[in-house]
Amino acid sequence: MCSIHVTDPAAAHAVYTEKFGFDTLMAIPEANLFIVQDASIPGGPGLLLEPSDNPIGEDYRSRVYEAGMPAIVFGVDDVVAEAARLAAAGLRVVGEPVVDPSGTFVDVDDSCGNLIRLHQD
């Protein structure tokens, strides 16, 4: 499992399941605990949508965001198509796709306090 600090775990759960297309692995709203999983990888790793109520976690999340750095990278088959799909779903795509020796990438604002990098090899 890996985690990402978010401003509101319940709102992030909605974004990550309804817009990014993850499945719910665990949701315990009364504990503010939400874990999602890539729908295309059964039994794959979970992504904990971690609350940023700890001052250190919030400081880290906000500084990474303000610096324009992605909090996490998601591999996709087609960056351009996935960015268009997410934009149509209401998320903000930051800039145009970039091609470099590592592949093609673009950042998307998850609306929960993070930039998410989409990367295509």
CB contact burial 97-118 (16+ within 10 A = b; e otherwise): beeeeeebbbbbebbbbbbbbb
Q: Which range of residues forms the domain containing residue 78?
A: 2-120
Count of helix runs (H) and strand runs (E) in the chain:
3, 8
State residue 41's pLDDT score.
87
CA–CA gap between residue 92 and residue 39 (Å, rounded): 22
State residue 102's pLDDT score.
95
Domain count for the chain: 1
Beta-carbon-side half-sphere exposure of residue 88 (alpha carbons within 13 Å)? 6
State residue 96's pLDDT score.
96
CA–CA gap between residue 96 and residue 90 (Å, rounded): 16
- pTM of the entire structure? 0.94
CATH of the domain at 93: 3.10.180.10
CB 83 within 8 A of CB 11: no
Residue (of 56, 53, 49, 55) closest to 15 by Cα position: 49
Q: What is the mean pLDDT, run by run of 10 residues, along the chain of 121 residues?
A: 96 98 96 94 92 93 98 97 98 97 98 98 95
